[in-house]
């Protein structure tokens, strides 16, 4: 006697197709891709993310303005000896009393930005308006509690050194209260 062929419905490995409220097949989601840390302008020329010392990071850094980055690091560090330097957001970052306050942004190849902020999480502002006054005009203000200074040459950095140091100390005082 011949075996009767089974008429089981074979489903795809991902299970039955889902339908929308209108009864139409739902669009399939693409499988999530694992982040590799490579590619994109934000990571070009910078070491891969991971636990690394600042010295190791700087040694591996391949950036056209590496010398400028080194000078800016020294300026920030000299402004307040209590700052703790680490690698965060794939660049040198500085914290005071456990809170991130200043981060270098190296994503552009033609300039280095110093981002002045109040940490990774938005904080309720204690006062309205810009957090500090900037008589030098070095800062641009994406938000009242976030400022950015950009430098494309060593000459720009050297001519702004004193004003930058004052901005750093004023920022740290304003964000430490």
- pLDDT-derived band at 15 (thresholds 50, 70, 90) equals very low
Write out pLDDT tens, residues 48-67: 555 579 999 999 999 999 99
Compute the distance between CA of residue 66 and CA of residue 151 in angstroms, rounded to an integer: 12
Q: What is the pLDDT of residue 107?
A: 92
Looking at residue 123, its pLDDT comes to: 58
Q: Which of 16-30, 31-45, 78-92, 100-114 shows the lowest mean pLDDT across its residues?
A: 31-45
Q: Just give the CATH number of 54-175.
A: 3.90.1150
Q: Check whether 42 has a pLDDT greater than 50.
A: no
8 A C-beta contact, residue 92 and residue 85: yes
Compute the distance between CA of residue 150 and CA of residue 32 in angstroms, rounded to an integer. 36
Opening angle at CA 44, ends 41 and 50, nearest 5: 115
Give me the mean pLDDT over the 32-44 stretch. 39
Mean pLDDT of 116-134: 75
Q: What is the pLDDT of residue 167?
A: 97
pLDDT band at 17 (very low <50, low <70, confident <90, very high): low
The mean per-residue pLDDT over the stretch 135-161 comes to: 96
pLDDT value of position 40: 41
**Beta-strand pair 99-105/84-88:** unpaired
The pLDDT of residue 119 is 73
Q: Is 152 helix (H, G, I), strand (E, B) or coil?
A: coil
């Amino acid at each position: 006697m011949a075996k009767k062929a089974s008429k089981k419905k074979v489903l795809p490995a991902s299970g039955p197709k889902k339908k929308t409220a209108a009864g139409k097949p739902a669009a399939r989601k693409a499988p999530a891709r694992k982040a590799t840390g490579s590619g994109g302008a934000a990571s070009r020329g910078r070491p891969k993310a991971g636990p690394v010392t600042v010295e190791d990071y700087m040694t591996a850094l391949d950036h056209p303005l590496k010398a400028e980055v080194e000078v800016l690091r020294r300026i920030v560090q000299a402004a307040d000896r209590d700052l703790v330097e680490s690698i965060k957001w794939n660049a040198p970052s500085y914290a005071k009393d456990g809170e991130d306050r200043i981060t270098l942004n190296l994503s552009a190849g033609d300039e280095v930005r110093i981002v002045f902020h109040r940490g990774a999480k938005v904080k309720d502002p204690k006062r309205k308006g810009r957090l500090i006054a900037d008589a030098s005009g070095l800062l641009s203000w994406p938000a009242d509690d976030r400022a950015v200074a950009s430098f494309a040459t060593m000459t720009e950095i050297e001519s702004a050194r004193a004003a930058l140091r004052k901005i750093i100390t004023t920022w740290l005082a304003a964000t430490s209260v």
